[in-house]
Structure 1
Amino acid sequence: MESISNTNQKEASDYIQTSLQNIVLWTCLAIFAYAVYVYALVKLLAAKPVVSKILDGVAFLLLLLFCFSFYQDAWRNRFPICVYMDLYHQLSIQKDFWTNIEKENEKYLHTAEKYITQAGDKPQTIVLVIGESMNREDMSLYGYSRKTTPRLEEIDKNERNFLKAKIAYSTRFSTVAAFNTMLEFDPAPLPEHGHVLAFFKKAGFHIVWISNQEDTAIHAEYQTFSDENVSLNRKGGRSSASMDEKVLPELASALEKAHGKTLIIVHLIGLHPHFSLRYPHDLKPNWDENDEVKQMLKDNGQSLRNQLLKSQYDLAMLYQDRILAKTFEITKEHSAGQPVSWVYLSDHGAETGRRDDLMGHSSTTLGGYTIPFLFWTNRSDVKLIAEDLEKRPFRGDWLSYMLLDIAGIQCKFPYAEKSWLNENYLWTEPKEITELKKHEKNQEIY
Structure 2
Amino acid sequence: MNIPKNHLWLWLPFVVVVCAGYFIIPSNTFVQELVAFGIMSLSISILSVFFKDWRIYSLVKVLGYVFLAFFAFVKLSFYNQYGVPISSSALYVIFETNSGEASDYLSNYFNGTTYLLLILLLWPIFFLLKGLFRKNKFQEKPLKRAFLYKLFLLLAALGCVFAIHKKFKTENIPYATLTTWDDYLTAKKQLKDALAIPTSKAFTKIESKDIPQTYVVVIGESTSRWHMQLYGYGRETNPKLTEIKEELVVMDSVITPHVHTITALEKILTLSNQENKAPSPNGSIIQLANMAGFTTYWLSNQKPVGLYESIPTIIGSAATHKRFMATDDYNYDIYDGALLPVLAEILKDKSASKKVIFVHLIGTHLRYEKRYPKMFEKFQTPSKDLKFQHEKAIIQTNRYDNAMLYNDYVIRALIEQLRRQDGYSYLAYFSDHGDEVYDTMDFLGHNEYHGTRPMFEVPLLFWFSEKYINEKGSIPKDIGNRKYSLIDFPHTFASLSTITFKGFDASKNVLDSTFVQRKRIIKDSLDYDKR
CA distance in 2, matches of 1:125, 1:348: 26
Q: Find the partner of 1:254 among 346, 355, 360.
A: 346
The answer to whether the Cα contact below 8 Å between 1:2 and 1:176 also exists between their aligned partners in 2 is no
Matched, 1:284 2:374: no
Asked whether the equivalents of residues 297 and 322 of structure 2 are also in contact (C-alpha less than 8 Å), the reply is: yes
Contact 2:188 2:311 in 1 (8 A): no
Residues 1:344 and 2:429 are matched in the alignment: yes
| Post-superposition offset of 1:309 | 0.7
Match status 1:17 vs 2:103: no
User: In the aligned structure 1, how far is the partner of 2:269 from the partner of 2:354?
Assistant: 18
Which residue of structure 2 aligns with residue 316 of structure 1?
403
Q: Does 1:243 align with 2:335?
A: yes
The 3-state SS of whatever aligns with 2:283 is coil
Aligned residues: 395
Residues 112-150 of structure 1: CA deviation (Å, up to 9, x unaligned): 45x234223122111111110111111111111111111
Question: Which residue number in structure 1 is paired with residue 388 of structure 2?
Answer: 297
Residue of structure 2 in register with 1:165 after alignment: 251
Which residue identity lines up with residue 270 of structure 2 in the other structure?
A: E
Return closer, same or farther for 1:119/1:191 CA change in 2, 3 Å cut-off.
farther
Q: Report % sequence identity.
A: 24
User: Which structure has the bigger radius of gyration?
Assistant: 2
Give the drift of 1:86: 1.9
- How far off its partner does 1:152 sit? 0.5
| 1:270-309 C-alpha deviation (Å, 9 max, x unpaired) | 0000111111123232x67244224x333xxxx4212211
Relative to structure 1, the CA distance from residue 80 to residue 317 in structure 2 (aligned partners, 3 Å threshold; closer, same or farther) is closer
Other structure's SS at 2:401 match? helix
Between 166-175 and 72-81, report the one with greater CA deviation. Answer: 72-81
CA contact (8 A) 2:381 2:394 kept: no
Aligned runs of 1:32-181 on 2, under 5 Å? 70=163, 73-93=166-186, 101=192, 103-105=193-195, 109-113=199-203, 115-157=204-246, 159=247, 162-181=248-267
Contact 2:435 2:446 in 1 (8 A): yes
Structure 1 contact 5–94 (Cα < 8 Å) conserved = no
Q: Deviations over 1:57-86 (max 9, x none)?
A: xxxxxx99x859717624345334422332
How does the TM-score come out when normalised to structure 1?
0.80
Contact 2:364–2:371 (Cα < 8 Å) also in 1? yes
Q: What is the Cα deviation at residue 23 of structure 1? A: 6.3
Note if contact 2:297-2:357 (Cα within 8 Å) is conserved in structure 1.
Answer: yes
- Mapping of residues 194-273 of structure 1, within 5 Å: 194-215=283-304, 216-218=309-311, 220-236=313-329, 238-258=330-350, 259-273=352-366
Q: CA RMSD in A?
A: 3.0
Aligned partner of 1:39 in structure 2 is: none
Q: What SS does structure 2 have at the residue aligned with 1:399? A: helix
**8 Å Cα contact 2:241-2:408 kept in structure 1:** yes
The one-letter amino acid of 1:244's match is: D
How far apart are 1:396 and its partner, in Å?
1.4
Gaps of 5+ in 2: 1-90, 125-155
Q: 2:189 and 2:491 mapped to 1: Cα distance?
A: 29
Q: After TM superposition, give the deviation of residue 248 of structure 1 in Å.
A: 0.6
Q: What amino acid is aligned across from residue 394 of structure 2 in structure 1?
A: Q
Q: Which runs of 5+ in 1 are unaligned?
A: 35-62, 440-446
Q: Is this contact kept in 1: 2:294–2:354, CA < 8 A?
A: yes
Report the Cα distance in structure 2 between the residues aligned to 1:191 and 1:104, rounded to whole angstroms: 9
**Farther off after superposition, 179-188 or 120-129:** 179-188
- RCO higher in structure (CA 8 A, sep ≥6): 1
- Counterpart amino acid of 2:342? E
Shift of 1:425: 0.6
Contact 2:507/2:516 (<8 A) preserved:
yes
Residue identity matched to 2:178: M
* Structure 2: distance between partners of 1:154 and 1:214: 32
Deviates more, 1:8-17 or 1:170-179: 8-17
Alpha-carbon distance between aligned partners in 2 of 1:227 and 1:95, rounded to the nearest angstrom: 21
Distance 2:311 2:101 in 1: 16
> Are residues 116 and 394 of structure 1, via their aligned partners in 2, closer, same or farther at CA, if it must alter by over 3 Å?
same
- Shift of residue 406 of structure 1? 1.5
